[in-house]
Amino acid sequence: MSEIQRICCFLVFVGLTSVVSAQSLLDDLNAAFEDPSLPVTATFKDTRIVNVQSNETPAEGVLHFVIAHRFGTLSSGAYDLWGLDNAQMRMAFDYGVTEGFALGVARNTYQKTYEANVKVKLLRQISGPEAFPLSLTWYSVAMANGTRAPSEDTPYPFSRRLSYVHQAVLARKMNEKWSLAVVPSFVHRNFVSESGDAHDLYLLGVGGRYKLRPRLSVNAEYHHFLTQSFGDAFSPSLSLGVDIETGGHVFQLHVTNARGMFERSFLAEPAGSWANGDVYFGFNLSRVFTIQS
């Protein structure tokens, strides 16, 4: 994407925020335990911990809009300004159809990937006399690689482009500061480049958030393969981040060894090595708009 295109996207984004009424993602951040008859809220600040999904969904009638950027590796050095010269973008829209049920679409410049997803809250954590210890959210996404075929003579049917990920997000707000999540994932790829690669992969992820201030937190997540070993050259996905909430926006700044910003990439594709500096800086900018009150 050229600098002019990026500036245009930014101006459009700013214009939208000035004409559409927005609600804070975290209006109830500090009300989680005030009323024991209500479900626990604001386990995480946004719908993602860093890369992986959190248990949060947009409220009913709310459109959640995210622009995400991820730059090149920090090890690329001063010539590429430590990766800032090489940017990828992801643009996503998630809509709260009902309270706890959301649909979304997204487009990534990396591998020109399209996404369609569904997210459902199955169980919610409850405090008080009728306490329930955790929340359970289901997330499913279908992804399509949009790159051109290697050559006109190479068969590349649409079915080969598809991959799917299903996740169960088990989360618990431990107290006012700590939140934890365990995220088992299943990845299916219709096409793999090497004959020895598995089409189906199982992973177990863990993520957490620690609130430093009412509008500032640090996050981390890690994903471990359960079904296949990739040898010493492969590094599982490990990400660290900072969330800053400004009332209408959430800024998520992070460093990660995963190149892509969609599930198949950061779960199933080899990540860089933290020890060698093969990590990527990026950020997510989230905004919510009340479409139906």
Render pLDDT for 129-173 as a digit per residue (tens, 0 to 9): 778 999 999 999 999 999 988 777 677 788 889 999 999 999 999
CA 41 to chain centre: 19
Cα separation, 25 vs 248, in Å, equals 7
pLDDT of residue 233: 57
Cα separation, 224 vs 32, in Å, equals 31
Q: Where are the beta strands (DSSP E) in 18-161?
A: 62-73, 87-98, 101-108, 114-123, 135-144
pLDDT of residue 195: 65
Contact 93, 106 (CB under 8 A): yes
What is the helix (H) or strand (E) element at residue 241, kind and residue range?
strand 238-245
Q: What angle do CA 49, 52, 53 make, to 5 degrees?
A: 75
**Phi and psi (nearest 5°) for 29?**
-55, -45
Cα separation, 221 vs 49, in Å, equals 7
pLDDT of residue 40: 93
Please give the radius of gyration of the chain, using alpha carbons only, rounded to the nearest integer: 19
Spans in the chain with pLDDT lower than 50: 2-34
Question: pLDDT, tens digit, for every residue of 92-134?
Answer: 999 999 999 999 999 999 999 999 999 999 999 998 777 899 9
**Phi and psi (nearest 5°) for 79?**
-60, -40
pLDDT of residue 244: 96
The CATH code that applies to domain 3-290 is: 2.40.160.40
Q: What is the pTM (predicted TM-score) of this model? A: 0.83
What counts of helices (H) and strands (E) characterise the chain?
2, 12
Q: How many CB atoms within 10 Å of residue 292?
A: 9
pLDDT of residue 272: 83
Distances 87 to 32, 84, 110, 215, 240 between C-alpha atoms, Å = 37, 7, 9, 27, 19
pLDDT of residue 8: 44
Distances 75 to 82, 161, 241, 254, 274 between C-alpha atoms, Å = 6, 31, 19, 16, 10
Query: By C-alpha distance, which of 217, 192, 215 is closest to 207?
Result: 217
Cα separation, 175 vs 170, in Å, equals 16
Cα separation, 254 vs 282, in Å, equals 5
Contact 266, 260 (CB under 8 A): yes
Cα separation, 32 vs 28, in Å, equals 7
pLDDT of residue 92: 98
pLDDT of residue 268: 87
Cα torsion through 225, 229, 233, 236, rounded to 10: 0
